[in-house]
Amino acid sequence: MSIKRIVRPGDLIAILLSLAVTAGSAVYAYAGGQPAEVYIRNPNHEWTYPLSEDRRVSVSGPLGETTVLVDGDTARIVDSPCRDKICIRMGSLSASGDWSACLPNGVFVQVRGAAGQEIDALAY
Amino acid sequence: MLLRSLRAALVLLTAVIAASSCNGGGAPQTRTEFVFGTPCWITVPGRVSAGVLDSVFTRMQELDSMMSLHNESGPLLDLASNAGVRPVFVTPELFHVIEHGIEFSAATGGAFDLTVGPLVALWGIGTDLARIPSDDEIARALSLIDYRDVLILEEQRQVALERAGMQVDLGGIAKGYGADIAADMLRANGVASALVSFGGNIYALGEKEDGTAWRIGIQHPGKARGDLVAVIPVRDRAVVTSGTYERYFVRDGRRYHHILDTTTGYPVRNGIESVTIVAASSMAADALSTGVFALGLDAGMALVDLYDGVEAVVVTDERLVYATDGVGDDMTIVDPSYVRGDYRGRAQDEPSEGGR
C-alpha cells in the first residue's frame, strides 16, 4: 500500500495549509507580542482590523453613522452624530488599551496588542 | 474503508491542532466591559481561563449596582430619600465602603467628602444639564455637605444622613474599590501579572511577564487623550489620576471642571492640573487623588507624606511636576516643556492657592 493511496493531493494541500496557519499564528503569538489591532464595537457587532492598514470605517448605531479613521498606526473617531462630539475630542489612539467611545451612538473603539509601545496603560 | 477513515482522521487531526494553536498560551487576552459608567478593561496572560474574567466582571457589575446613583432601586438613593427621616439598612460591603469614605473625608479635612452629592448634582458636570448654579443654590448645597453628619450604627448595620437633602456620592471611590476587588479576585485565581484599567483608574498587578515593571503613562493635562506628560514604572500598585481635563464644560472662555471645592462650591482653582496617586489600595488612591487636588500642593503633599507607601505626582499650570520620593526617582518626564519642582524647597510664604 503506497502513501499515495492513503493521502490524496487534496488532503495534502489541506494538511500543509493547516500547518502553515499554525506556524504563522505561532510567529505572531510567541514572537514578542501580537500585532496592534483596532477593535470596534456597536450594539450588534464587533470588528477587528490591523492598526497598520489605513482605512475609514463607518459604524452604525441608533443615531446614525460613526466614522473611525485608521491612519499612520493610530485610530480615531473623526465623525459622529452625537451632540457633544466628546468621542472626537478624545483624540487619537495608539497605545494598547487606548479607547474612545460614542456613548449616545453605542460605538466603542480600542487599540489592542500594540507591543513595544512607550507605555502599558494610561492613567487619566 | 479503513484508508478513507485514516485519511479523514489525518486531515481532521491536523486541522484541530492548527485551530487550537491559534488560541495559543502565549498571547495576553484583554476583556472590556462597560461598567462604572465607563469602558473598563483587564489584560491577563493568555493561559488564564475566560471564566476568571467572567467572574470578575460579574462582580464589578454588582458593585456598580450597589454604588451607582443611577440605580433607581439602589441603596444610595434609598439612603438619600430617607435623609433627615430614618436610618436605612445596608449590606456589610456597602457599610464598609461608606466607613472608608468617611475615613478619607476626615483624613483630608473634608477636601474629599463623600456627602458632596448635592453639589455634584447641582453642577451636573458631565451631563446635558451642566450649568453654573446661582450663589443661593451653591450655598444651599454647601449646607448639606458634611461627612460628620453621616451617622453609622455599627451593630444594626444602618446608616443615616442627618439632614433632608443630604446625599452620599461614592463616585470618588467606586472605581477604586472595584479595582481593589478585581485585583484580589485575580490574585485568588492564581494570576500574578495583570493590568486593570477602569476608565483610566489603573491597577498594575505584579509585574510584567518578562520581569520588568509596568510602564504607566500620566495623561498630559493640556493635550489630547493618549499624550503623556510623564511615565512611571510600577509594580503591584494602583495608579489613579484626578485632572481638570477629564470632565468639564466651558462658559465664556472659562473651564468649569468636575473636582469641586467643598468650601466654596466652585471647581477647585489652585494651579493644579492633575494629581496622580500611587498606592497599594486603589480605593485610597482614588479618594486621595481628589482630596490632594482640592487641598492644594503644600497641604496635599503634607498629607501624602503622612501615609506610608503612598506616593504622588502633581502637575501644575506652570508646567511643574512635583513628585514624592518613592515615585520621583524613577519617573520620566516626557514633555520637555515640563520640569521637576521641589515641593519641600518652596518658600513658606509663596502662595500655593491661585485666585478663582
Q: Please report the DSSP string for B207-263 in residue order.
A: --TTSPPEEEEEEPTTS-TT-EEEEEEESSEEEEEEETTSSEEEETTEEEES-B-TT
Instruction: Give the one of A25, A94, A99 whose C-beta lies nearest to B39's C-beta.
Output: A99
Q: Check residue A67 and report its DSSP letter.
A: E
Which chain B residue has its CA at the smallest distance from A94's CA? Answer: B226
For B1-32, what is each residue's pLDDT tens digit? 666 666 766 666 665 555 444 444 568 888 98
In this prediction, residue A118 carries a pLDDT of 79
Show the CA angle centred on residue B229, arms to residues B226 and B234, nearest 5°.
85
Q: Check residue B111 and report its DSSP letter.
A: S
In this prediction, residue A43 carries a pLDDT of 85
Show the CA angle centred on residue B267, arms to residues B264 and B271, nearest 5°.
105
CA distance B150 to B84: 10
Q: Is the pLDDT of residue B72 over 50?
A: yes
In this prediction, residue A45 carries a pLDDT of 86
Mean pLDDT for chain B overall = 92
CA distance, residue A95 to nearest chain B CA (Å): 8
Instruction: Give the one of B21, B201, B225 whose C-beta lies nearest to A22's C-beta.
Output: B21
Q: Which residue has the cell 496622580?
A: B276
Complex ipTM: 0.89
In this prediction, residue A50 carries a pLDDT of 86
Which chain B residue has its CA at the smallest distance from A19's CA? Answer: B18
For B132-168, what is each residue's pLDDT tens digit? 999 999 999 999 999 999 999 999 999 999 999 999 9
Length of chain A equals: 124
In this prediction, residue A28 carries a pLDDT of 38
Q: Is the pLDDT of residue B63 over 90?
A: yes
Comparing C-alpha atoms, which of A114, A109, A78, A79 is closest to residue A94? A114
Report the DSSP pairing between strands B214-219 and A121-123. Answer: parallel
Q: Tell me which of B314 and A16 has the higher pLDDT.
A: B314
Residues of chain A with Cβ-Cβ distance to B286 below 8 Å are none
Q: Tell me which of B24 and B347 has the higher pLDDT.
A: B347
Give every residue of chain A whose pLDDT is below 50, as ranges: 24-34, 115-116
pLDDT tier, B347 (very low <50, low <70, confident <90, very high otherwise): low
The pLDDT > 70 percentage for chain B reads: 90
CA distance A97 to B197: 8
What are the start-end ranges of the H helices in chain B? 2-22, 50-67, 75-81, 92-107, 117-123, 135-143, 174-188, 282-295, 297-306, 325-328
Residue B111: C-alpha distances to residues A28, A75, B102, B256 (Å): 49, 38, 12, 18
Q: pTM, whole model, 2 decimals? A: 0.77
CB B295 within 8 A of CB B304: no
In this prediction, residue A48 carries a pLDDT of 85
- Annotate B326-349 with b (16+ C-beta within 10 A) or e (fewer): ebbeebebbbeebeebebeeeeee
In this prediction, residue B284 carries a pLDDT of 98
Instruction: Give the one of A6, A89, A120 whose C-beta lies nearest to B6's C-beta.
Output: A6
Burial of B279 (0-12, 13-18, 19+ CB in 10 A): buried
In this prediction, residue A46 carries a pLDDT of 84
CA distance A21 to B18: 7
Residues of chain A with Cβ-Cβ distance to B201 below 8 Å are 123
For B73-124, what is each residue's pLDDT tens digit? 999 999 999 999 999 999 999 999 999 999 999 999 999 999 999 999 999 9
- CA B194, chain centre distance (Å): 17
pLDDT tier, B189 (very low <50, low <70, confident <90, very high otherwise): very high
In this prediction, residue A37 carries a pLDDT of 83
CA distance B293 to B227: 21
Which residues of chain A approach chain B closer than 8 Å at the C-beta? 1, 5-8, 11, 14-15, 18-19, 21-22, 25-26, 28-30, 33-34, 39, 83, 89-101, 108, 110, 112-113, 118-124
Q: Work out the average pLDDT over B341-348.
A: 78
Report the DSSP pairing between strands B272-279 and B254-257. Answer: unpaired
Instruction: Return the amino acid letter for A35.
Output: P
In this prediction, residue A116 carries a pLDDT of 44
Residues 6+ apart with CB under 8 A from B96: none
CB B251 within 8 A of CB B297: no
Sign for the CA dihedral angle at B341, B342, B343, B346 comes to: negative
Neighbours of B161 (CB within 10 A): 25
Burial of A69 (0-12, 13-18, 19+ CB in 10 A): middle
Residues 6+ apart with CB under 8 A from B103: none
Q: Which of B11, B193, B327 best tests the A interface by mutation, with the highest count of A CBs <10 A?
A: B11
